[in-house]
């Protein structure tokens, strides 16, 4: 129970960081007049920090089998997300950008979980879950005037 609370708290804190990162990087992109340069700087800082943490933690042993090719495509989605948010947030506002990201996450996670895609635990969309998704979506639109 305590472990689940701790893990949930860490993920919650990561969620808090998403709009902070979006606002900071959007501001950097605007100041540099280049969302692409701001994204590259963010990725460079991330590479340096994750490499330093890996060195402190210790290098893991390499797997005996090659992971599926799609499992290495996460970097594309990170760069796409950061570049899109960095470029578009100054035009539509932080709240609208993050709420639209949240809506995209609700839709994609529901599909991924329903079909068990990419090795995810298969969790079918029930009527109760569908209602919850619909209410979350409605809530997003009620909280923010989406473009």
Quick one: which of 93, 83, 96 has its CA closest to 140? Answer: 96
pLDDT digits (tens, 9 = 90+) for 115-144: 999 989 999 999 999 998 899 888 888 887
Q: Is 37 left (phi over 0), alpha (psi -120 to 50) or beta?
A: alpha
Q: How confident is the model at residue 77 (pLDDT cuts 50, 70, 90)?
A: very high
Q: How far is CA 15 from CA 9, 26, 127, in A?
A: 10, 17, 27
Indicate yes or no: pTM above 0.85.
no
pLDDT digits (tens, 9 = 90+) for 51-69: 999 999 998 888 888 888 8
User: Cα separation of 99 and 142, whole Å?
Assistant: 11
């Amino acid at each position: 129970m305590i472990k689940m609370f701790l893990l949930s708290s860490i993920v919650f804190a990561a969620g808090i960081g998403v709009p902070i990162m979006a606002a900071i990087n959007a501001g950097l992109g605007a100041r540099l007049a280049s969302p692409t340069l701001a994204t590259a700087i963010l990725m460079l800082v991330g590479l340096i920090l994750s490499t330093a943490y890996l060195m402190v933690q210790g290098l893991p042993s390499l797997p005996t089998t090659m992971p599926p090719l799609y499992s290495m495509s996460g970097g594309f989605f990170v760069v796409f997300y950061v570049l899109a948010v960095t470029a578009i947030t100054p035009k539509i506002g932080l709240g609208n950008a993050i709420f639209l990201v949240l809506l995209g996450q609700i839709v994609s996670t529901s599909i991924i979980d329903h079909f068990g895609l990419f090795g995810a635990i298969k969790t079918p969309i029930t009527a109760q879950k569908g209602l919850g998704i619909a209410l979350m979506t409605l809530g997003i639109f009620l909280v923010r005037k989406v473009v």
